[in-house]
Amino acid sequence: MRVLVIDDSRAIRSIISRSLKELAFEVVEAANGREGMERLKDMSPFDLALVDWNMPEMNGYEFLCAVRKDSTRSGMSIMMITTETETEQMAKALEAGANEYLMKPFTKEALCDKLKLLGAIKPPV
C-alpha cells in the first residue's frame, strides 16, 4: 500500500513515515499541501494520505478539498493528523471527505488503530 505523508514538520513526517515503513507501507513525503498535490500528479496512485491541517502554501483542509473534487482520486483514503482538536474542525474535515481524524500528539498504537478502521492494516485474527 502506498501512502502520502504531508506535514510541514520534518520530525513529524519522519515519525509517521518510520511507523508506516515498519508496517510495510511504501511512503512518500511532502512538506505542504501544494507539494502533496505535485506528488499526486507525478507519482499517483496513492491508497492513503495522512495530512496535517496547519501548513504553509496549501493547508491540509485545502488539500483535502482539492483531492475530493478530483473524481480520479475518489478511491484514496485521507486521514487528517493534526493539533486541531475542536469538534467543529473535525466535523468540517469529515464533511469535506476525510475518512479519519487523528489528533496530535498521538501514539503508534493510536495510528495503527486508525489504519485498522480504514482497512489499511488487518487486525490479528
Q: What are phi and psi of 101, to 5 degrees?
A: -145, 125
Domains and CATH numbers, the chain: 2-117 (3.40.50.2300)
DSSP structure string for 58-109:
S-HHHHHHHHHH-GGGTT-EEEEEES---HHHHHHHHHHT-SEEEESS--HH
What is the tens place of the pLDDT at every residue in 8-26? 999 999 999 999 999 999 9
pTM of the predicted protein model? 0.93
Query: What is the pLDDT, as a whole number, of residue 74?
Result: 84
What is the tens place of the pLDDT at every residue in 61-108? 999 999 999 988 888 999 999 887 788 989 999 999 999 999 999 999
**28 three-class SS:** strand
